[in-house]
């Protein structure tokens, strides 16, 4: 019993995901690309349920990068339709389980109905504290950092900008920095995701494509994290 409690206490507080491989998974299984994204959305639900059981408080998902707008118009339309469907289908779950929903990124190009649903869900769940769920949409970390610096410069409060100034003006200022970043599908890069915030995060890369990243594989990644020694630059 004690061992179980100790293990739970060692789990990361904040896990962020670069969900890669939906399209490749669909191609491998001779399915339309959108089916890969649909299966990927189901994985998010499973990760959320397991994280609540493990008392992991913060989850951030890289749902749509700023660069994803360069994909075909058809796929972008399908992704937006899936996002709309996800928000509709998960609203009751967020309310019932007291999940605090927020989003980061530039959502200006998204369909008006999606923007409205994002703001409404964020407002409706703003007082919840059981789990903090963040979706990165139209997000790019370099743009976020530039935006933070420009916000500071506009305030013209001081001459010397500090690290704290930048952190407090990022889109993630309401979140702790991630303890663990998980990227699926075999790529070993960060793809312009939370570059400032993950200075001391542990990185976990797996060849498993996101639609196959089930709860068992999630547990393997978490146990890998537990077995690492985080020194933060010390001995």
Task: Provide the pLDDT for residue 158.
Answer: 66
Q: What is the CATH number of the domain that holds 31?
A: 3.40.1180.10
Q: What is the mean pLDDT of residues 189-198?
A: 96
Catalytic residue among 6, 9, 20, 93: 20
What pTM, to 2 d.p., does this model score?
0.90
Among the listed residues 6, 22, 35, 68, the single catalytic one is 68
**Number of domains comprising the chain:** 1
Reported as a pLDDT band with limits 50, 70 and 90, residue 165 is: very high
Residues 85 and 45: beta-carbon distance below 8 Å: no
> Does 20 qualify as catalytic in the annotation?
yes
Closest by Cα among 32, 64, 40 to 211:
40
Write out the residue range of the structural domain in which residue 60 sits: 10-41+53-72+93-143+162-179
Q: What's the distance, CA 222 to chain centroid?
A: 16
Reported as a single tens digit per residue, the pLDDT across 71-98 is 888 888 888 888 888 898 899 999 999 9
User: Is 235 considered catalytic here?
Assistant: no
* pLDDT at residue 98 in the model: 96
Residue 24 lies in a domain: yes
Residue 100 within a domain: yes
């Amino acid at each position: 019993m004690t061992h179980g409690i100790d293990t739970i206490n060692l789990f990361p507080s904040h896990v962020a995901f670069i969900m890669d491989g939906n399209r490749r998974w669909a191609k491998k299984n001779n399915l339309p690309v959108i089916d890969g994204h649909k299966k990927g959305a189901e994985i998010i639900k499973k990760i959320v349920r397991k994280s609540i059981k493990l008392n992991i408080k913060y989850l951030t998902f890289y749902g749509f990068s700023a660069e994803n707008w360069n994909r075909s118009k058809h796929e972008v339309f399908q992704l937006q339709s899936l996002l709309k469907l996800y928000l509709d289908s998960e609203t009751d779950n967020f309310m019932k389980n007291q999940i605090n929903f927020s989003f980061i990124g530039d959502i200006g190009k998204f369909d008006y109905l999606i923007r409205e649903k994002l703001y409404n869900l964020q407002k409706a769940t703003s007082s919840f504290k059981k789990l903090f769920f963040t979706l990165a949409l139209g997000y790019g970390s370099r743009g976020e950092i530039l935006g933070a610096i420009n916000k500071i410069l506009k305030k013209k409060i001081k001459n010397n900008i500090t690290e704290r100034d930048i952190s407090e003006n990022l889109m993630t200022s309401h979140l702790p920095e991630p303890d663990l970043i998980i990227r699926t599908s075999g790529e070993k890069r960060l793809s312009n995701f939370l570059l400032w915030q993950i200075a001391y995060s542990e990185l976990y890369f797996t060849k498993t494509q996101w639609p196959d990243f089930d709860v068992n594989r999630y547990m393997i990644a978490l146990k890998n994290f537990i077995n690492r020694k985080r020194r933060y630059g010390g001995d």
